[in-house]
Structure 1
Amino acid sequence: MSSTTLRTLSGTNLEDVQEMNRSLVMRLVRKNQICSRAEIAEASGLKQSTITNIINEMINWGLIVETGMIEGKKGRRSIGIKLNSEYYKIIGIRLTRTSISVGMYDLDGTEYGLQKLTINPGEGSAIAFKKMKDLITEAISTNTVGKVYAIGMATPGPLFRNEGRIALMSNFPGWEKINIQEELTREYEIPVYLEHDAKAGGMAHWWFGDHQDHGVLIFVTAGQGVGAGIVVDGTVYRGSLGMAGEIGHMSIDYKGPKCECGHNGCLELYCSTSSLLRVLGNEYPSIQAVCQALEAGNSIVEEAVQKAAWFLGFGLVNVVNVYNPSQIVLGDEFAAVGDRLLHTVSEVIQQHVLPDVWNRLEIKLAPPEKDFMLVGAATIAIDNLLNQPSVHLWPKAE
């Protein structure tokens, strides 16, 4: 075999196996909240002695605490355990074309504070980034228990996730010149994780939403742009550069209008809230104004919303045929119009996919009370911390 055909293969060291087992145990404890060592052993498939060693190790680290006696199967009582989550804080950030949101979370996803600031593309990306850092600094200063271990950030795309920077933010130039990950890491000296907002939303919905424990989940961000977070059996699908899911730049008309990405007829030119507001004109400056007009029975607004929803559904037909998801969740600003969006998108997809595919597909709206992209920013950071707990989470904050 010539050297040009050789592949580099990597083995697994004992230390790697131990870290994988620690990660598995922490994830199971987080998912089950308060549970017993025996339950973790059964769920993980690991030997009871292995579980005992890992749990004792994490108790010594301060990552896990005992909660007292709990009742298990067949009435057997045992000592409960849970994550000592409140000592381990994460900053979650969501960047949009018009706002910056910064929240503080713990390993369980509990929120400890939230700030949201309006930004203006006319001010430029450098000023907006400075405002973001001010919010992060303020959030960290308010923490009174434990310490902040990481920052997670959800951004519009396209995003070069592996390079830590935005490739293009339509209608808000300048962000492509800032290496956000590098800048924030240098400023705060903790790990920083960037993710496309749709992928972050998909991960948050997989962790905290209503779904099966397996399958393919597509989280659609239909807002100022359009994106899709693809989650396969709990793992975000990112592609080689981290740009997978950029459905907003999928062309649905090769003779259509020119997009900032250089393509013609991109989906987001037809069904983003930005395009919807452009169609409706200055009388409707926000999606909230659109919703009020819908409630008042404005036929012109109803027609424009239905047309945009039809285009989104048409684009999602392609997504369904490519990824065969078990669930599609419609989120972000456009989801505020509610059942009108859900009904039209569902109708279009039903008409254009195979009956067997449709019958095995669930389409729903994301709950409006939660910003899944912001929670997802923190979730992405938590997920990375849990991958290597002995590297990132030991010793416990004082």
Structure 2
Amino acid sequence: MNRSLLIRLMRKRGVCSRAELTQDSGLNQSTITNIVGELIQWGLVVETGVIEGKKGRRSIGIKLNCEPYKVVGIRLARTFISVALYDLGGQEYANKQIPIRNSEGPEAAFAKMKALIAETIRSHEDTVKAIGIATPGPLFRGEGRIALMTAFPGWEKINLQEELAQQFQLPVCIEHDAKAGALAHWWFAEPQRDRGVMVYVAAGQGVGAGIVADGKLFRGALGMAGEIGHMSIDYNGPLCECGHRGCLELYCSTTALLKKLGKEPSALGTVWQELRRREPVTEEAVRRAAWFLGFGLVSIVNAFDPDRIILGDELSSAGVLLLETVKAVIREQALPDVSSRLTIELASLASDDMLIGAATTAIDHLLARPSVLLC
């Protein structure tokens, strides 16, 4: 447990001293010295040379030796699969995306996924230590399978975690895509933050939320917490594939946006081009989707009392129009004392949050069990 604690602190700090680890961990100096010595001997930690400490004191810097240990991150979406290779520090080494179609069925799409994973691992076989996969939800995380993927039925019959672990003989971590995005944002966009409640909203082909409180994901009893896309905002609304009416994602997902505009899924890029040209029909459709998203988020604000909301995934490409519309709705609908203290931002990570988050779940698994890295 103490090894894991120190490894996590080093991941967060980057280069640090043994004295800083003593202060941050609450462990005594001899324990720090012994554990760090052991980790250096194992090759998990390296010394970096002299660094300046407080009051000009000099000490030997140490950091995690991230590069020799790799993880594979996978994002499964309704229209594509992305697979990438990262080290323990989140540095990307390879990234490839392939299209999939619901007409080909989940088994064929899963076969493509496995082939792409094998291709990614092939040249780094000795260094890959775990696989992380982010999926749409609802997700039965404890069972390793999707409960429902709207617009792409059949995935619920495949145990992704079990089958991937069996084929690649590696630990496989599975997470809902919004939760994976939330974890990635907390780790990499604001790595020095320790406290607070953040809601990461993945508004793409579906809609979900990841809730992080003081650095820990809130998953709920079955791992389905944050499944806001199937929260009804109109009991007389259109019928959803989940069996309920008026689900939020029927109004503010990019799937719903494209349907409103009469466009195919492949045309999403043209929607953002039209928005930049301020074409009235497109601008109004995006504003409408943003309004519904904001309306749904009012309930999340009231239920979880976050200090910040991050708007991510495909709909975040709507930029300022999305951000300002959501802010306006929450200001109008939530209590003033609550909305005035709430920060709402667009996701700041340059890459795919959910893909990085998939890798992050695998990294987190390894950091909690550092002995696995030696296998």
TM over 0.5: yes
Q: Are residue 269 (structure 1) and residue 246 (structure 2) matched?
A: no
- Match in the other structure for 1:159: 139
Deviation at 1:369, TM superposition (A): 2.3
CA contact (8 A) 2:189 2:349 kept: no
2-structure distance, mates of 1:97, 1:203: 21
Deviation at 1:387, TM superposition (A): 1.3
- Among 200, 203, 226, which residue is 1:222 paired with? 203
Query: Structure 1 residues 229, 80: CA separation in 2 closer, same or farther (over 3 Å shift)?
Result: same
- Among 170, 176, 183, which residue is 2:150 paired with? 170
Deviation at 1:394, TM superposition (A): 2.4
The percent identity for this pair of structures is: 62
Query: Partner amino acid for 2:107?
Result: A
SS at match of 2:163: helix
Matching of residues 307-326 of structure 1 within 5 Å:
307-326=288-307
Query: Partner amino acid for 2:190?
Result: D
SS at match of 2:211: strand
Q: Are residue 332 (structure 1) and residue 313 (structure 2) matched?
A: yes
Deviation at 1:297, TM superposition (A): 2.1
Q: Are residue 235 (structure 1) and residue 216 (structure 2) matched?
A: yes
Query: Partner amino acid for 1:39?
Result: E
Query: Partner amino acid for 1:389?
Result: P
- Match in the other structure for 1:202: 182
- Match in the other structure for 1:347: 328
Give the structure-1-normalised TM-score.
Answer: 0.92
2-structure distance, mates of 1:173, 1:280: 24
Aligned residues: 374
Matching of residues 24-103 of structure 1 within 5 Å:
24-103=5-84
SS at match of 1:86: coil
- Among 367, 370, 373, which residue is 1:389 paired with? 370
Query: Partner amino acid for 1:277?
Result: L
- Match in the other structure for 1:297: 278
- Match in the other structure for 1:108: 89
CA contact (8 A) 2:274 2:282 kept: yes
Deviation at 1:285, TM superposition (A): 4.6
**Which deviations, in whole Å up to 9, do the C-alpha atoms of 1:102-130 show, x marking residues without a partner?**
01111111111100111111111001001
Which deviates more, 175-184 or 206-215?
206-215
Unaligned segments of structure 2, at least 5 residues: none
Q: Are residue 132 (structure 1) and residue 84 (structure 2) matched?
A: no
- Match in the other structure for 2:170: 190
1-structure distance, mates of 2:264, 2:81: 25
Query: Structure 1 residues 292, 119: CA separation in 2 closer, same or farther (over 3 Å shift)?
Result: same
SS at match of 2:67: helix
- Among 153, 159, 164, which residue is 1:179 paired with? 159
- Match in the other structure for 1:11: none
Deviation at 1:368, TM superposition (A): 6.1
- Among 109, 117, 122, which residue is 2:98 paired with? 117
1-structure distance, mates of 2:281, 2:18: 61
- Match in the other structure for 1:148: 128
- Match in the other structure for 2:234: 253
CA contact (8 A) 1:287 1:334 kept: no
Query: Partner amino acid for 2:131?
Result: I
SS at match of 2:374: coil
CA contact (8 A) 1:195 1:377 kept: yes
Deviation at 1:287, TM superposition (A): 2.1
**Which deviations, in whole Å up to 9, do the C-alpha atoms of 1:360-395 show, x marking residues without a partner?**
1100001362111000001111111111212x2225
Matching of residues 358-377 of structure 1 within 5 Å:
358-367=339-348, 369-377=350-358
2-structure distance, mates of 1:137, 1:342: 39
CA contact (8 A) 2:311 2:346 kept: yes
2-structure distance, mates of 1:192, 1:243: 18
SS at match of 1:168: coil
CA contact (8 A) 2:255 2:265 kept: no
SS at match of 1:35: coil
Deviation at 1:43, TM superposition (A): 1.1
Which deviates more, 215-224 or 294-303?
294-303
CA contact (8 A) 1:284 1:290 kept: no
Structure possessing the higher radius of gyration over alpha carbons = 1
RMSD of aligned residue pairs (Cα, Å): 1.3
**Which deviations, in whole Å up to 9, do the C-alpha atoms of 1:128-166 show, x marking residues without a partner?**
00110111101111228x510000000000000000000
Deviation at 1:284, TM superposition (A): 7.9
SS at match of 2:195: coil
Which deviates more, 324-333 or 209-218?
209-218
